[in-house]
Amino acid sequence: MKQLYLIVTFLFLSFSYGQDPKGNNVDIEGFKIYPNPVTQGRVTISTTLNAPKKIMIFDIFGSLVLETTLLGKELKLDNLDSGVYMLRVNEKNKIATRKLIIK
């Protein structure tokens, strides 16, 4: 019975600490990424504000493979190998994270 209480307490704490404490939506408004999967070495990233964006791309091991600032909408990914990556976009203190597939 003690194990059940321990598991329930752990799950409750995990879910409560995993939420945004301020209740703010941290995702970027109007965030779109296409095409995904990337086939031509270029991806378009658009948002409602269309402000400069800090782009970070991580491989499946969590290593940073690309970091740049995007002023327009099109990002060249010719130098990345085929695979699955995590794309993190920062725009005006808002963050969006998506899976990015390169074929």
Give me the pLDDT at residue 27, please.
86
Q: ∠ CA(88), CA(43), CA(20), 5° rounding?
A: 20
Instruction: Show pLDDT as tens, one digit a residue, over the chain (103 residues).
Output: 656 655 656 655 565 555 444 544 458 999 999 999 999 999 999 999 999 999 999 999 999 999 999 999 999 999 999 999 999 999 999 999 999 999 9
Reported pTM: 0.73
Strand order across the beta sheet in which 42-46 lies: 32-34, 42-46, 74-76
At residue 67, what are phi and psi to the nearest 5 degrees?
-140, 125
Domain boundaries, the chain: 25-102
Q: What is the pLDDT of residue 5?
A: 58
Q: Does domain 25-102 have CATH number 2.60.40.3080?
A: yes
Residue 94 tokens read as 């808002």
Pairing of strands 74-76, 94-102: unpaired
Greatest alpha-carbon pair distance for the chain in Å reads 58
